[in-house]
Amino acid sequence: MTPVSTEVWEPAPLGPLTLRNRVIKAATFEGVMPHGRVTPELIDFHGEVARGGAAMTTVAYCAVSPGGRVHRHTLVLDDRTGRDLRHLTDTVHAEGALACAQIGHAGLVANQVSNRARSLAPSARISAPAMGPVRAATRAQLEQVAREFERAARVAVDAGFDAVEVHLGHNYLLSSFLSPNLNRRKDIYGGSVVNRSLFPREVLGRVRGAVGGSVAVTAKFNMADGVPKGLWLDQSLQIARLIESDGCVDALQLTGGSSLLNGMYYFRGDVPLAEFIAAQPKPVGWGLRVYGPHIFPTYPFEEAFFRPFARQFREALTLPLIMLGGINRADTIRTALDDGFEFVGMARALLRDPYLPRKLREEGVAEGLCIHCNKCLPTIYSGTRCVVREALWENSRH
């Protein structure tokens, strides 16, 4: 057997796929799907990432149902969007890259008022992002959600996606089942670590069953929620081992944090509170003025900030792993491979410059130009973009 190269810029296997290199563009909700429509802007966004040299780009966030959207301008993976997404996957493929669809249900993070649909949680709870109380899902509703995941995954495959990334992070629905503070169920889906992992693992199995072996199935997985009494490595390592032994996923992408309770944990860097307030309707903005500093505590940015956590997973698992979080530099990618990670995920570095992979590979550039100001975060409401890159364009036009 030919040994697999550990070179950053050489092809590498991910399940049934061969990626042209080790760099995956991680999910960044693109904010250009008005009422869930696939737009030319969405296609251009991913076309540019593909041209820039990443091996695979991740379309985010694709809800499995209307109630699972973050808000009404979120894409639902159904037959209509599936047909339109074919243009996106064709564009990405024409540039030599692969396309991944991040599929999920937002759970406690789904804005029920905007969606005009009720969301679901493992246990009943008031949620600020959901704009009110969210009900505990019944067993019948969970079965329905599992079916929606199956359908969404099938639609993604029919639309030409090469991979499906199931969202098991950031306290979205599946992630909230794993969290002891959010899952207080008394049935088989609550209680012990094994029980809390059952529903998310069932969904992973159903997604794999729905798509078969010809596409990659990955999961974006929370190592730690970053909140008191939330999921922490003592339990997430056990869950990751269970997922590995189920044999349904080709890789885990390692993340952390909670869009419900600790929004900056998986970003680090500056908190753009003023920009967040400006991007919200007035009443939400007033709430953010009061509660913002609690919801968005400051964490200083560090290169590869999740590496110490991720290395625990590398030690515990043989499953391929995608290291994510604060990766900006060529030497960090090299170190990740030396640590035994198969791939790296990059989000903000590629928002700042989608052509960074090419520059790292062909021009000997050592690092990207993202300054971790996080001012791209509030742009998810108006078309996700790097404000620094945008300012440079504006200047060059005058």
**Catalytic residue numbers?**
172
Angle of helix 330-339 versus helix 307-316 axis, rounded to 10: 30
Instruction: For residue 220, state whether it binds ligand FMN (rule: CB under 6 A).
Output: yes
**Smaller CB distance to ligand SF4: residue 157 or 376?**
376
The beta strands (E) that lie in 92-239 are given as: 98-104, 120-121, 125-127, 132-136, 163-168, 216-222
Q: How near is the Cβ of 397 to ligand SF4 at its closest, in Å? A: 18
For residue 175, which amino acid is it?
A: S
Instruction: For residue 352, state whether it binds ligand SF4 (rule: CB under 6 A).
Output: yes
Instruction: For residue 376, state whether it binds ligand SF4 (rule: CB under 6 A).
Output: yes
Angle of helix 139-158 versus helix 193-211 axis, rounded to 10: 40
Instruction: For residue 64, state whether it binds ligand FMN (rule: CB under 6 A).
Output: no
255 interface partner picked from ligand FMN, ligand SF4, none, CB below 5 to 8 A per type: ligand FMN
Q: Cα separation of 70 and 36, whole Å?
A: 11
> Which residue stretch of 86-94, 176-184, 274-282, 365-373 sits at the interface with ligand SF4 (rule: CB under 6 A)?
365-373
Binders in 104-163 for ligand FMN, by CB under 6 A: none
Pull the structure tokens for residue 300: 């200083």
Instruction: For residue 29, state whether it binds ligand FMN (rule: CB under 6 A).
Output: yes
Q: Which of 227, 321, 373, 380 binds ligand SF4 (CB under 6 A)?
A: 373
**Smaller CB distance to ligand SF4: residue 236 or 379?**
379
**Cα three-residue angle 136-137-141, rounded to 5 degrees:** 165
Q: How near is the Cβ of 266 to ligand SF4 at its closest, in Å? A: 13
Which residues, 6+ apart, have CB-to-CB distance to 281 below 8 Å?
none
Q: How near is the Cβ of 305 to ligand SF4 at its closest, in Å? A: 14
Q: Which of 323, 374, 378, 384 binds ligand SF4 (CB under 6 A)?
A: 374
Positive or negative, the CA dihedral 246, 238, 142, 381 is negative
Instruction: For residue 377, state whether it binds ligand FMN (rule: CB under 6 A).
Output: yes
Instruction: Please say whether the beta carbons of 62 and 159 come within 8 A.
Output: no
